[in-house]
Chains A and B, each alone.
Chain A
Amino acid sequence: MNPVNNCIVALLFGLLITSCAALTGCTTTVTAYTADKAIEPDSEGEQRLWSLANKFDQALEKSGSLYKDPELEEYLNNILNKLFPEFGDVMHARILKAPVLNAMALPNGSIYLNTGLLAVMENEAQLATVLAHEGEHFVQKHSAKQREHIIQAAGWGTLGGIALAGAGIPPELASLAAISSITGYSREAETESDNLGYQRLKKAGYDVRQAPQVFRHMIREVEAEEIKQPYFFSTHPKLQKRVANFESLNKSDTNGSLRVIGEKEYLDTFSQLRLKALEAKLERGQYKVLIALLSDDAANTSYGSIGAFLLGESYRLRGHEGDAELAMKAFLSAQQSGLNTAGLYKGMGLIEYKSGHIDKAAEAFVHYLKLADENEPELSFIKIYLKKIKREQHEQAD
Chain B
Amino acid sequence: MNKLIKISLVLAFITIASCALPTWTRVESGVYVNEGNFSIVLPTGWLKIENIDKTGILVSIDGPALQSFTIKHENFDKAFGTTKTEVTTDTLSYELMEYYIAEYKAKAGNRVIEVESKEAAMISGKEGFRVGMWYKNQGGLRFKQVTYGCINGSEIYTLTYHAPVLYYFDKNVVEFEASVKTFLIL
Which A residues have a C-beta under 8 Å from some C-beta of B?
1, 62, 64-65, 96-98, 160, 162-170, 283-286, 317-320, 350, 353-354, 377-378, 380-385
Q: Is the CB of B127 within 8 A of A284?
A: no
Q: How many residues does chain B have at the interface if contact means C-beta atoms less than 8 Å apart?
A: 36
Chain B residues with CB under 8 Å of A283's CB are: 101-102, 105
Q: How far is the CA of A170 from the CA of B137 in the complex (A)?
A: 11
Identify which of B85, B115, B138 contacts A285 (C-beta below 8 A): B85
Identify which of A168, A286, A353, A384 contacts B138 (C-beta below 8 A): A168
Q: Is the CB of B110 within 8 A of A381?
A: no
Chain A residues with CB under 8 Å of B26's CB are: none
Q: How far is the CA of A60 from the CA of B152 in the complex (A)?
A: 42
Q: Is the CB of B136 within 8 A of A64?
A: yes
Chain B residues with CB under 8 Å of A320's CB are: 86
Chain A residues with CB under 8 Å of B106's CB are: 160, 284-286
Chain B residues with CB under 8 Å of A1's CB are: 109
Q: Check: B93 CB closer than 8 A to any chain A CB.
A: yes
Q: Is the CB of A377 within 8 A of B102?
A: no
Q: Is the CB of A285 within 8 A of B83?
A: yes
Chain B residues with CB under 8 Å of A381's CB are: 92-94, 97, 118, 120, 129
Q: Check: B117 CB closer than 8 A to any chain A CB.
A: yes
Q: Is the CB of A384 within 8 A of B120?
A: yes
Identify which of B83, B94, B136 contacts A168 (C-beta below 8 A): B136
Which B residues have a C-beta under 8 Å from some C-beta of A?
80, 82-83, 85-86, 88, 90-95, 97-99, 101-103, 105-106, 108-112, 115, 117-120, 127, 129, 136-138, 140
Nearest-neighbour CB distance to chain A for B85, whole angstroms, equals 6
Closest B residue to A316 by beta carbon equals B95
Q: Is the CB of B83 within 8 A of A164?
A: no
Identify which of A62, A284, A378, A380 contacts B105 (C-beta below 8 A): A284
| Given contact pairs A165-B109, A167-B111, A168-B138, a sample of 20 additional A-B residue pairs in the complex whose CB atoms are under 8 Å apart | A64-B136, A65-B112, A162-B110, A166-B109, A166-B110, A167-B109, A167-B110, A168-B136, A284-B83, A284-B106, A285-B82, A285-B102, A319-B88, A319-B91, A350-B94, A380-B120, A381-B92, A381-B129, A383-B120, A385-B94
Chain A residues with CB under 8 Å of B138's CB are: 168-170
Q: Is the CB of A167 within 8 A of B112?
A: yes
Question: Ordered nearest first, which 3 A-B pairs have the shortest CB separation?
Answer: A166-B109, A163-B109, A285-B83
Chain B residues with CB under 8 Å of A382's CB are: 94
Closest A residue to B113 by beta carbon equals A283
Contact A164-B105, Cβ < 8 Å, known A285-B80, A380-B119, A384-B120: no
Q: Is the CB of B110 within 8 A of A65?
A: yes
A-B contact count (CB 8 A): 90
Contact A285-B137, Cβ < 8 Å, known A377-B117, A378-B94: no
Q: Is the CB of B90 within 8 A of A285?
A: no
Q: How far is the CA of A283 from the CA of B98 in the complex (A)?
A: 8
Nearest-neighbour CB distance to chain B for A240, whole angstroms, equals 25
Q: How far is the CA of A13 from the CA of B118 in the complex (A)?
A: 40
Closest A residue to B130 by beta carbon equals A380
Contact A168-B111, Cβ < 8 Å, known A350-B92, A377-B117: yes
Q: How far is the CA of A98 from the CA of B112 in the complex (A)?
A: 10
Q: Is the CB of B119 within 8 A of A317?
A: no
Nearest-neighbour CB distance to chain A for B115, whole angstroms, equals 8
Nearest-neighbour CB distance to chain B for A318, whole angstroms, equals 8
Q: List 20 A-B contacts (CB under 8 A).
A: A1-B109, A97-B112, A162-B110, A163-B110, A166-B111, A168-B138, A283-B105, A284-B106, A285-B80, A285-B105, A285-B106, A319-B86, A350-B95, A353-B92, A377-B119, A378-B94, A381-B94, A381-B97, A384-B127, A385-B94
Chain A residues with CB under 8 Å of B101's CB are: 283
Closest A residue to B106 by beta carbon equals A284
Nearest-neighbour CB distance to chain A for B127, whole angstroms, equals 7
Q: How far is the CA of A353 from the CA of B95 in the complex (A)?
A: 12
Q: How far is the CA of A169 from the CA of B85 in the complex (A)?
A: 28
Nearest-neighbour CB distance to chain B for A200, whole angstroms, equals 29
Identify which of A97, A163, A377 contacts B118 (C-beta below 8 A): A377
Closest A residue to B82 by beta carbon equals A285
Nearest-neighbour CB distance to chain A for B126, whole angstroms, equals 12
